[in-house]
Structure 1
Amino acid sequence: MKTRARRGVVALSAIAIGAATLTVTGGAAAPQQRLSPEELLQQMTLEEKVGQLFVTYAYGRTADTAHPENMAEFGVDTPAQVVQKYHLGGIIHFAWTDSLYDPKQIAELSNGLQNAAVSSGAKVPLLISTDQEQGQVTRIPEPATQFPGNMALGAGRSVDDAGRAAAITGQELRAMGLNQNFAPSGDVNVNPANPVIGVRSFSSDPALAAQLTAAQVRGYEDSAPPGETVSAAVKHFPGHGDTNQDSHSSLPVIEHDRQQWEQLDAPPFREAIAAGADMVMSAHIVVPKLDDSGEPSTLSPGVLTGMLRGELGYRGVIITDSLQMDGVREKHPDAEIPVLALKAGADMLLMPFNVQVAIDGVLGAVRTGQLSEQRIDESVARILALKSARGVLDNPFVDVSKVDQVVGSPEHLAAAQEITDRTTTLLRNDGMLPLEPPGTMFVTGAGDKATAALAERIRVRGPQASALVTGLQPTPEQINQAAEEAKRHDVTVVLTNAAWSATNATQLDLVRALQQTGKPVVAVAVRDPYDAAYVDLPAWVATYSDKAVAMESLAKVLFGEITPVGKLPVPVPDPNQPGVDKYPFGHGLGWSGS
């Protein structure tokens, strides 16, 4: 906790807002008043304070873009008007809100939103966020620097690489005007059937997951001066790793007892808190052996106040996961959910189903005495302190003219490739790899971008290569077409993506059909490594990612340009022998076979 005190995230320090007027390209003038977080809080109305508790999205490429979805959902035309109407504490960006097109556009949108915030209401700048976990959950694509994601970093086993990946991601986000990243996932993926975490987790090993979670917190928050870094939000407390249900569409129940939680789930959160995490996100899960309320953790005082605040000593900002998810909306009306979350100990309320209903619910709870205004003040104080510590109050704007110097810079791209090269894992090799460059190669399987990227990287190395996308659920016709095409090539590489799940099981039929052609086949799990247990082939590789940067590392391994050094960060169970691992934790072959 010394790190947090040093940063001033707990105490309402006297860091001034608007130390100087700053005009930037595509931006606006910073506020000129010098107010500490404490002074800001004292001058805010109840409505302004309640607005600070909420984070939601708005539709449009610029702050002044009139978008019909804004009128339908919020009753106003533009993103700037959404910010001003609700006095929002934060905005979150998605591709589906038409917010993420290219780095300069994102930076200009960010500046426009900040201008709306500081020119109205309490004049408090926004937290602007997204989910740039990397890997499977990546909101901003190229030219932003891409990484293969957490499980790949777990395979690399490098604290330095995990921290560097976070630092690069954070610096690029801040250059685009985003000062908050909902990452990393601190969940320990001990359940191979987990449909919502999987490769978003660093590992099934609590110690490894804890080390890399803490490394990323430091990378996001400590790699540069506060005005150039982003807040990390570690998720999903108290731990979403051991479930076979998705909290987006149901309310998962995790049966860990106290000892299991202490040993399996708690370590990453403990280490993240020790590293000074600005924010922790709650999970919409029920943990009956830890909390007998029957409520999802997001709405449970026993979990948020008792465990996170009390037992782990966390003093930063607690934010809910999206309040639109079915896991939290199962038991209560939308007007009550934010009130219950605040009573449980949450500070910020992410993406309520109806923002006006949610805000009115909180205001009504204060006016009727269900919530005290002092309780609201406690959360707003934490939010303002976080904004102060990250330099958001001091200067929320970015220089759009400098975005291209940071986002996707040659230095960042080179670092990402080096890091990714240390994550590719060779699970099985019966003498097939590395390949002698064949005359022709065929790439097929899941992922149109991945298959195309790999084929292109094969071609630059000499062999002719063609690609055929068969998708997550290949049909018999697609499987037959791929098998016939494989017969006409010297070597086939097939990419699988969560083929272990019942939904995607026809991918395994594709692999078997390719195997039956008698031609050499290399199989590559480009998401969870669990696919490798289902079909025995001479060569299985795990990349944990289908990003182009991972396909480049895969090509290097296929042709022996680098030695595969990744080690499994999770065990791969044998589906035919319960309790037995086909490939154990830590397994990974080099060219020597060990």
Structure 2
Amino acid sequence: AERLHAVELLPFKAAIKAGARAVMTAHIAFPQFDASGRPATLSRKVVSELLRQELAFDGIVATDAFTMQGIADHFDPAEAAIIAAQAGVDALLIPVDTPRTHRRLVQAVRSGELPLQAVETAARRLLTMKAGLGLHELRTVDINRIADLINTPAAQQFAQNVASAAITLLEDDGAILPLPNDRPLKIVAGIISNSAAGNEGEHLAEQLTARTHDVASYLLSAGMSEALLAQALVQCREADVVMFELHLTVGAWKGALRLPPQALQFLQAAREAHKPLIAISFGDPYMFEYLPPMSVSLCAYGGGRLMERAAALALLGDTAIQGKLPVTIPGRFAFGHGLQRA
């Protein structure tokens, strides 16, 4: 419980302090708080005692979808709705059978199984938020205006600043960073990904190419042809700098995070050719536990345009590197580790 408060719950505490209006529960158990094994969505100890009382959150608590396996495979959905309401949630999302769930909730209130006060409190929270957003006057949202209202230039710049502040330099053997700006480099990037986006590494390559560096990228996967792998290995041996990009994130149905044999061959070729080797994790930082020491190891923690641009700016010396590891990478780097670059 002490670690949960110091690490995992820290972002929630900060969000609540900053005025977050809603929190979603997950269908996962927290035995440190509730020994019954119930998922957080159905746990009074988590929703009412931890979130409401201990963390002093008075906004809307919404569940994750009731159609998800954490509820649907282990509980009667209508009965689970009662338990969730008793636990203190305000909004039940995507019931398996909405009419049946509604009938069961009405029955529970009439029988006293679910206190009417709990329903009224939840309704008051929801109506108060709707009124605050003007939804009692304009009930529909103009979806065509969402990007203009949310993705403003100021919001984009703020997000980019956050991305840059997160970049963490774990090692820089030989003080390779920043990359030189006075001459073009031949850079070969090997990319490993378990994302469905299909454009991993593109934004990073664009930023480096804009500085006259020549970037050739290869997706290293089990489906890679032998001819393409051979080409990547030749390019690797001829490069000025080799980048090893890991776009690997933990997620449902993704399975264990592993490096394909092609990635190991790519790494071996770079090391045998004694090339400066820059490894960047655009996802799970724990992947560095399974990699040998690199010339440069950089944590970006996530992928996409903002993080790839932040990584490029850090590599080029356009932004300071000031991130600190939020976790310990066993056998490699301790919690709080991070090399600084002005």
TM-score range, shorter chain: 0.7 to 0.9
Question: Secondary structure of 2:278's partner?
Answer: strand
**Equivalence for 1:495:** 245
Q: Is the 8 A contact 1:522 1:538 kept in 2?
A: yes
CA apart distance, 1:373: 4.2
Counterpart pick for 1:462 among 202, 212, 222:
212
Are positions 1:543 and 2:300 aligned together?
A: yes
Is 1:504 the counterpart of 2:258 in the alignment?
yes
Cα distance in 2 for residues equivalent to 1:327 and 1:543? 30
> Aligned match of 2:178 in 429, 434, 439?
434
SS of alignment partner, residue 199 of structure 2 = helix
Q: Match for 1:532 among 278, 283, 288?
A: 288
Aligned counterparts of 2:68 and 2:144: Cα–Cα separation in 1: 38
> 1:451 is matched with which residue?
201
Question: Any residues of structure 2 matched to 1:246-261 within 5 Å, and which?
Answer: 256=1
Question: In 1, distance between residues paired with 2:63 and 2:16?
Answer: 17
Cα distance change, pair 429–292 in 1 and its aligned pair in 2 (3 A): closer
Aligned partner of residue 444 in structure 1, secondary structure: strand
Does residue 268 of structure 2 align to residue 513 of structure 1?
yes
- Output the amino acid matched with 1:513: Q
- Could you say if the C-alpha distance between residues 280 and 469 of structure 1 is closer, same or farther in structure 2, counting changes exceeding 3 Å? same
Distance 2:150 2:33 in 1: 43
CA–CA distance in structure 1, aligned partners of residues 15 and 158 of structure 2: 24
Counterpart-to-counterpart distance in 2, 1:327 and 1:401: 34
| Aligned amino acid, residue 327 of structure 2 | V
Contact 2:232–2:266 (CA<8 Å) still a contact in 1?
no
Aligned partners of 1:367 and 1:564: how far apart in 2? 60
- Asked if structure 2 preserves the Cα contact closer than 8 Å seen for 1:278 and 1:317, the reply is yes
Q: Does 1:523 align with 2:279?
A: yes
Query: Which residue is equivalent to 2:82?
Result: 339
Q: Does 1:555 align with 2:305?
A: no
Residues 440/269 of structure 1: CA separation in 2 closer, same or farther (3 Å cut): closer
User: Are residue 286 (structure 1) and residue 29 (structure 2) matched?
Assistant: yes
SS in 1 for 2:190: strand
Shift of 1:446: 2.8
Q: Pairwise mapping of residues 319-358 of structure 1 onto structure 2 (< 5 A)?
A: 319-358=62-101
AA aligned to 1:564 is I
| 1:485 counterpart residue number | 235
3-state SS of 1:422 partner: helix
Partner of 1:307: 50
* Residue pair 2:190, 2:243 contacting (<8 A) in 1 also: yes
SS at match of 1:450: coil
Does 2:164 align with 1:421? yes
Conserved? CA contact 1:429–1:540, under 8 Å = yes
Q: How much has 1:557 moved relative to structure 2?
A: 2.6
Would you say the 8 A contact 2:236–2:266 is kept in 1?
no
1:583 aligns with 2:333: yes
For residue 338 of structure 1, report the CA deviation from its aligned partner: 0.8
- Give the drift of 1:439: 4.1
CA distance in 1, matches of 2:35, 2:156: 48
The 8 Å contact of residues 445 and 496 in structure 1, kept in 2 or not, is answered as yes
Distance 2:152 2:129 in 1: 29
Residues 392-438 of structure 1, C-alpha deviations (whole Å, 9 max, x = no match): 33444556786665454444434433443333222111123222344
- Is the contact made by 2:328 and 2:334 (CA closer than 8 Å) also made in structure 1? yes
Distance 1:337 1:543 in 2: 39
SS at match of 1:449: coil
CA contact (8 A) 1:483 1:517 kept: no
Q: Cα gap change, 1:395/1:529 in structure 2, threshold over 3 Å: closer, same or farther?
A: same
**Secondary structure class of the residue paired with 2:108:** helix
Q: How does 1:198-277 map to 2 (within 5 A)?
A: 256=1, 268-277=11-20
Contact 2:220/2:260 (<8 A) preserved: no
Question: Could you say if the C-alpha distance between residues 470 and 330 of structure 1 is closer, same or farther in structure 2, counting changes exceeding 3 Å?
Answer: same
Residues 450 and 359 of structure 1: CA distance in aligned 2, closer, same or farther (over 3 Å) = same
Cα-to-partner distance string for 1:553-581 (whole Å, 9 max, x where unaligned): 2222323333322222323222xxxxxxx
* Alignment RMSD: 3.3
The letter for the 2-side match of 1:505 is L
Rounded to whole Å, the distance in 2 between the matches of 1:410 and 1:272 is 22
In structure 2, distance between residues paired with 1:459 and 1:318: 46
Distance 1:458 1:274, change over 3 A: closer
Which residue type is aligned with residue 443 of structure 1?
A
Report percent identity of matched pairs: 29
CA change 1:397–1:284 in 2 (3 A) is closer
**Deviation at residue 384 of structure 1 after TM alignment:** 0.8
Match of 2:123, as an amino acid? V
The CA distance in 1 between the partners of 2:36 and 2:329, in whole Å, is 35
Q: 1:10 is matched with which residue?
A: none
Question: Aligned pair in 2 of structure 1 residues 409, 369: CA closer, same or farther (>3 Å)?
Answer: closer
Q: CA deviation at 1:341?
A: 0.8
- Counterpart of 2:131 in 1: which secondary structure? helix
Change (3 A) 1:320 1:539: same
Q: 1:427 to 1:309 in 2, by over 3 A?
A: closer
Q: CA separation of 1:439/1:262 partners in 2, compared to 1, >3 Å: closer, same or farther? A: closer
In structure 2, the partner of 1:137 is: none
Residue type at the aligned position of 1:389 = G
Query: Residue deviations 1:138-171, cap 9 Å, x none?
Result: xxxxxxxxxxxxxxxxxxxxxxxxxxxxxxxxxx
Q: What is the SS of the residue equivalent to 1:336?
A: helix
> Does residue 564 of structure 1 match 2:321?
yes
* SS of residue in 2 equivalent to 1:381: helix
Q: Which residue in the other structure is 1:240 paired with? A: none
| Structural mapping, 1:113-152, within 5 Å | none
C-alpha deviation, 1:297, in angstroms: 2.3
Q: Counterparts in 2 of 1:392-411, with a 5 A limit?
A: 392-397=135-140, 405-406=148-149, 408-411=151-154
